[in-house]
Amino acid sequence: MISLPLPPKVIHKKNNQAVFEIEGLYPGYGVTIGNAIRRVLLSSLQGVAITEAKIKGAPHEFSTIPGVLEDGIMVLLNLKKLRFKIHEGEDYKIELKVKGEKEVKGSDFKLPSQVELVNPETHIATISDKKTELEIEIHIQKGLGYEPKEQRKVQVEKAASGASKKSEIGVIALDAIYTPIKNVNFQIENMRVGDRTDFDKLSLEIETDGTITPEEAFFEACDILIRHFNVIFEGKAIRPLEKTAHGKGSSAKEEKISDATQINVEDLKFTGRTFNALLKNNIKTVGGILKKSEKSLLELEGMGDKAISEIKRKIKKLGLELKSGE
């Protein structure tokens, strides 16, 4: 039987950076576990990013801004350095209005009580004319990983059922870096366990943006992996449709549907707004979704056309569809 490792421990911590160490891993398991945790950290932790910006007097990113030292591109790059935490809700529009010669910082944004800026000293722009007034509006949203602006545009158009949606004049779409992880590295060393010297010692270095601690990030990534393996271990994963020798696959199809109805809604990776609307209405599984028709879902609090479109796309991948009746 393969021996289990020792519990993880923090061997170094400074600001938003920490090094975790796991000793006594069976040979080869250092790479297996280190790579799995690293991939989850970089792709699957929720964060907040600026998805759109509007700068008064700058209709596009290549514009110069009268009375401001930096051009539009530099201001946008500085804005993308801001790291927010949203304590309640999914997205907000916040604005900044300053006048006169001064250094404009993140702290100049007016924030609602539900939003926190963890790096308020971040430089945004330099106003070089005392008569200049700088106005910036940004849209911040929760999300996972990295999302190019082109991908977000396609998603918006699909949610609108193919209808074209023109952006507001002067609104500049930005690539969104949602992940709160700035860097992850891991190293493997050999160590002695009993008479053997080929066991692994895993050292995992995690650096965050300050919206989450390295410890929170580490254990959240582990929890995501554990929940995935629990589903597989408990036999809730969808099994492929198997046909009999006579080509009949009805019983296998029924079994597939039965398995699919047990999937938790959180495992379908809905956007935050859709996920929260489902939970708010006590819908926790695919089976709970299928009990309702498209019309009855739309009548639920927090639901909209965009959420319904997303639900239909997700369950279609499982070979299922919503009821069309009442």
For residue range 147-157, what is the model confidence (pLDDT) as tens digits? 888 887 666 55
In which residue are the tokens 């369950």 written?
315
Which of 146, 210, 152 has its CA nearest to residue 177? Answer: 146
pLDDT surpasses 70 at 228: yes
Fold match flag (9-45+180-233 vs 49-170): no
Neighbouring residues of 144: CB distance < 8 A, sequence distance ≥ 6: 43, 44, 45, 46, 47, 178, 179, 269
User: Strands 91-99 and 109-110, how do they pair?
Assistant: antiparallel
What does pLDDT average to over the chain? 86
Comparing 235 with 133, the larger pLDDT belongs to: 133
Task: Give the whole-angstrom CA distance, residue 154 versus residue 301.
Answer: 26
Hey, is 241 helix, strand or coil?
A: coil
pLDDT surpasses 50 at 116: yes
Assigned fold of 49-170: RNA Polymerase Alpha Subunit; Chain A, domain 2 (2.170.120)
Architecture of domain 250-316: Orthogonal Bundle (1.10)
pLDDT of residue 310: 87
> Whole-model pTM?
0.65
pLDDT surpasses 60 at 250: no
pLDDT above 70 as % of the chain:
87
In which residue are the tokens 């993140």 written?
106
236 — pLDDT class (breaks 50, 70, 90):
low
C-alpha distances out from residue 170 to 37, 58, 152, 315, Å: 40, 7, 18, 37
Domain residues of the chain, as ranges? 9-45+180-233, 49-170, 250-316
pLDDT of residue 326: 58
C-alpha distances out from residue 149 to 48, 92, 238, Å: 15, 18, 33
Residue 15, Cβ density class (10 Å: 0-12 exposed, 13-18 middle, ≥19 buried): exposed
In the numeric block, which tokens belong to residue 116? 């926190």
254 — pLDDT class (breaks 50, 70, 90):
low
Computed on alpha carbons and rounded to an integer, the radius of gyration of the chain in Å comes to: 24
In the numeric block, which tokens belong to residue 156? 């918006």
pLDDT of residue 231: 84
Residue-by-residue DSSP string for 113-175:
TTEEES-TT-EEEEE--TT-EEEEEEEEEEEESEE-HHHHHHHHHHHTTT---PPPTTEEE--
Architecture of domain 9-45+180-233: 2-Layer Sandwich (3.30)
Neighbouring residues of 181: CB distance < 8 A, sequence distance ≥ 6: 41, 42, 45, 206, 207, 208, 209, 217
Amino acid of residue 218: F
Q: Average pLDDT for residues 21-37, to the nearest whole number? A: 95
